[in-house]
Structure 1
Amino acid sequence: MIKQENLTSKKKAYISSELQLKMNRIIKGLTNQLVKKPKTLFLIDSIGAFLTALLLFVVLRNLTEYFGMPKNTLTILWSTAACFWLYSAVCFLFLKRKWKLYIKIISFANLFYCMLTSAFLFIHHDELTALGLTYFLLEIAIICMLAYIELNVAAKILNTSCDNQIMPGSKSCL
């Protein structure tokens, strides 16, 4: 019986480490692609922020009894997400230079949003339902993953006078 439990725990550890390796490869590949096309990062971020704002404003505000988060707190969260959507959309549409700076700004803003949401989860833990807690924890996990990727992309964009260039990695600086 002990050998079987030991074998099962070793199997679980092996599967966990394999999953972690695959996840690391996926994130590294995604990061390398986004370094070549940093504008795409702003598109991804703006779509995510728009969906967050939409879900918070339309769905969760109208179904507070199922999620448990008070409407005034949801208003703070959806308006914050809407500001991030506007920022990322403007960067996607109009930004031509200084990718690194603006990527860092949105990544730290996303981390701030996660901390704010975590604080609200702590403050309203008695009111939250299992569905509400699940929604917000998943949202935090997804946004933290995005911020991690954004910070990795920003770190890989070279610190040169060419950070002002139209696209990182091109031969000439405009």
Structure 2
Amino acid sequence: MVFRQVINKMVVHPKRLFLIDGLGALLSAFLLGVVLVKLESIFGIPAKALYILAFFPCIFALYDLYCYLKVKKNQRYFLTAIALMNLIYCFISIGVAFQHYQKITAFGWGYIIVEIIILIVLINIELKTASKLTST
């Protein structure tokens, strides 16, 4: 019921999804590229891998900002695109995590899993909202 209400609100104001996604991307980039790097011994994810993971949310934030400010037509296409980029990022995150599985601590796995869960919820909202939008 709550999920359906969120979708209905986003259909009326789809640009908000770009704002939400972009702010989340900035938070993710900051956490990965600054906080987790400083706490590498606690999370166990090597700094190089964290910088690679932080790169993607930086690009997503720029994309979201562009969409929020400039996209007026065909928002369906742009929402679907960011949802797919987020999904690909989930797979990249899982791949990086498994590549360094011997070093990652429970806190590191916890961070990756929580980030993926949040992204899956967001992807779901973006795709459902996009499917309800007209192509104009």
Same fold (TM over 0.5): yes
Task: Please state whether the residue corresponding to 1:61 is helix, strand or coil.
Answer: helix
Aligned pair partner of 1:80 in 56, 62, 71: 56
Aligned to 2:37: 61
Aligned to 1:12: none
The Cα shift of 1:122 comes to: 1.4
* Within-5 A mapping of 1:12-161: 25-158=1-134
The Cα shift of 1:89 comes to: 1.0
State the alpha-carbon separation in 2 of the partners of residues 48 and 26 from structure 1: 21
State the alpha-carbon separation in 1 of the partners of residues 65 and 42 from structure 2: 31
State the alpha-carbon separation in 2 of the partners of residues 92 and 151 from structure 1: 17
The Cα shift of 1:108 comes to: 0.1
Q: How many residues align?
A: 136
State the alpha-carbon separation in 1 of the partners of residues 92 and 2 from structure 2: 28
Q: Which has the larger radius of gyration?
A: 1
**TM-score, structure 1 as length reference:** 0.76
1 or 2 for the larger relative contact order (CA 8 Å, sep ≥6)?
Answer: 2
CA deviation profile, 1:25-59 (whole Å, cap 9, x unmatched): 11111011101110001000000000000111110
State the alpha-carbon separation in 2 of the partners of residues 125 and 29 from structure 1: 39
The Cα shift of 1:70 comes to: 0.9
Task: Please state whether the residue corresponding to 1:97 is helix, strand or coil.
Answer: coil
RMSD: 0.8
State the alpha-carbon separation in 2 of the partners of residues 86 and 63 from structure 1: 26
**TM-score, structure 2 as length reference:** 0.97
Unaligned runs of 5+ in 2: none
The Cα shift of 1:69 comes to: 0.7
Unaligned runs of 5+ in 1: 1-24, 165-174
Identity of aligned residues (%): 38
